[in-house]
Amino acid sequence: GALVSMAGRLMRRWCPSLLQDLHFPVVQLHMSRTAMRASEKDFENAVNQLKLLKKDPGNEVKLKLYALYKQATEGPCNTPKPGMLDFINKTKWDAWSALGSLPKETARQNYVDLVSSLSPSSESSSQIKPAAADEKLPESENVVVTSEGGITKIMLNRPTKRNAITTSMYKEIIHALKVASTDNSTITVITGSGDYYSSGNDLTNFTAVPPGEIEESAKNAGILLRDFVNSFIDFPKPLIAVVNGPAVGIVVTILGLFDVVYASDRATFHTPFSELGQSPEGCSSYTFPKIMGPTKAAEMLLFGKKLTAREACAQGLVTEVFPESTFQKEVWTRLKAYAKLPPNSLRISKELIRSTEKEKLHAINAEECTVLQGRWLSEECMSAILNFISRKSKL
């Protein structure tokens, strides 16, 4: 119960877009005549003043304004509580309901006070906060693609979020692989910027789902995931992972589709699917048992055992481990040499190695995505995501 009641607050922390429908001045501002009483003029002015604000006051404030407005015009919350998965309406409902039996007049006064604290004078005196490093970047800069010396490098570039992959990033990676498959490069490399390789799927991909669109979103996410994994299965040139740090979830499972995996000795490999109420993807339900044997694969995929780079190497998931201090230098020296090899020969050899499995991998990918789609709609998955978020919120 406590977990559910904190979900609204947690969602606001994790999902800035959660309250998009409260975007200023979208808070419903139509005043009913019956609501107008003693301080009605001040209240009406405040409502109009709010429309003139130049700066978005932020979701927390908009939520307060929403609740006060509802209380001032309709009195205590009197509508049925929205379902647990209806995040936005539930968050709004919680805010309004939290005002209890606050009298309409007090709500009106509080609303007027709050709007006046957001007046242009306080607006102009307030400092503009610098955006976080990743926020400054347009979405396309979260996946940086460069091509030089026969190597196309696709770098996950969201270091402040441990290179977690947003839905836009999945699409950008698909696009980058499509371009790399026909560009002049000989080999393609995927790596991460900063300390992490990647923390896998951005968990706010789940919380950003608009209410009433959960099934449709899960269906679309299933298609996106299938296309994402297919672009690895079908990639025609040598594909190399340069795992510069810890790797979690989807970026680990797709390693079975890479041709070579180099890891820093700082890297770890973690697939916490059961903890998240989910199931394996990236064809790992097939590639992992094949690579490391069923019992080692089960420890990772069922029980989320985190492997060190050396363990992953011993089990065949990683090709070679390098000391962190020389990792970049050694790996890139080697890759530059590999990139000088005849490209057609490399392609043809890769085709020989991989072609017999392709059809099977497509079928496995499709099945994994169908199963996951069901998982995303399950209570187990939703409550596991909430558990993770609440644990991180340190509440």
Using CB under 6 A as the binding rule, whether residue 22 contacts ligand L4XM7KOE is answered as: no
* Rounded Cα distance, 186 and 338, in Å: 8
Minimum CB separation of residue 159 from ligand L4XM7KOE in Å reads 9
User: Closest approach of Cβ 262 to ligand L4XM7KOE, in Å?
Assistant: 21
Site for ligand L4XM7KOE in 142-171 (CB under 6 A): 161-162, 164
Tokens of 25: 């001045």
Structure tokens at 330: 């050694």
Pick one of 63, 187, 225, 261: the residue that binds ligand L4XM7KOE (CB under 6 A): 225
The yes or no reply on residue 389 touching ligand L4XM7KOE (CB under 6 A) is no
Backbone angles phi, psi at 321, to 5 degrees: -110, 140
* Contacting residue, 8, 238, 256, 272, with ligand L4XM7KOE by CB under 6 A: 272
Which residue lies nearer to ligand L4XM7KOE by CB, 67 or 382? 382
Applying CB under 6 A, among 258, 287, 376, 384 the residue interacting with ligand L4XM7KOE is: 376
Using CB under 6 A as the binding rule, whether residue 247 contacts ligand L4XM7KOE is answered as: no
289-292 long-range contacts (CB < 8 A, ≥24 apart) are 290/256, 291/256, 291/315, 291/316, 291/317, 292/316, 292/317
Position 248 contacts ligand L4XM7KOE (CB under 6 A):
yes
Integer Cα distance of 261 and 383 in angstroms: 34
**Min dist. Cβ of residue 190 to ligand L4XM7KOE (A):** 15
d(CA 278, CA 295): 19
Among 71, 109, 142, 205, binds ligand L4XM7KOE (CB under 6 A): 205
Tell me which of 59, 217, 287, 315 binds ligand L4XM7KOE, using CB under 6 A. 217
User: Does residue 149 contact residue 188 with C-beta atoms inside 8 Å?
Assistant: no
Nearest to 74 by CA among 32, 26, 23, 22: 32
Q: How far is the CB of 292 from ligand L4XM7KOE (least distance, A)?
A: 19
If one asks whether residue 280 binds ligand L4XM7KOE (CB under 6 A), the answer comes out as no
- Asked if 346 and 237 touch (Cβ cutoff 8 Å), the reply is yes
Instruction: Tell me the window of 139-147, 149-157, 246-254, 302-310 that interacts with ligand L4XM7KOE (CB under 6 A).
Output: 246-254
What 3-state DSSP class applies to 46? helix
Minimum Å gap between C-beta 232 and ligand L4XM7KOE is: 13
Among positions 60-99, residues that touch ligand L4XM7KOE (CB under 6 A) are none
The answer to whether residue 281 forms part of the interface with ligand L4XM7KOE (CB under 6 A) is yes
Is residue 293 a contact partner of residue 231, using CB atoms and an 8 Å limit?
A: no
CB 163 within 8 A of CB 127: no
Could you tell me which stretch among 27-35, 214-222, 261-269, 343-351 binds ligand L4XM7KOE (CB under 6 A)?
Answer: 214-222
Q: For ligand L4XM7KOE, which is the closer residue by CB, 8 or 280?
A: 280
Q: Are 194 and 134 in contact (CB under 8 A)?
A: no
DSSP string, 283-336: THHHHHHHHH-HHHHHHHHTT-PPEEHHHHHHTTS-SEEE-GGGHHHHHHHHHH
- Residue 249 interacting with ligand L4XM7KOE (CB under 6 A): yes
Looking at 276, 307, 339, 382, which residue binds ligand L4XM7KOE (CB under 6 A)?
276
C-alpha pair distances (Å), 84 with each of 5, 31, 200, 204 = 9, 29, 25, 16
201 binds ligand L4XM7KOE (CB under 6 A): yes
- The Cα-based distances of 355 to 260, 349, 361 in angstroms read 17, 10, 10
Near ligand L4XM7KOE by CB under 6 A: residue from 155, 221, 313, 361: 221
Nearest to 217 by CA among 34, 377, 332: 377
Looking at the chain, the number of H-run helices and the number of E-run strands are 17, 9
Positions that interact with ligand L4XM7KOE (CB under 6 A): 161-162, 164, 199-206, 209, 214, 217-218, 221, 225, 248-250, 272, 276, 281, 376, 392
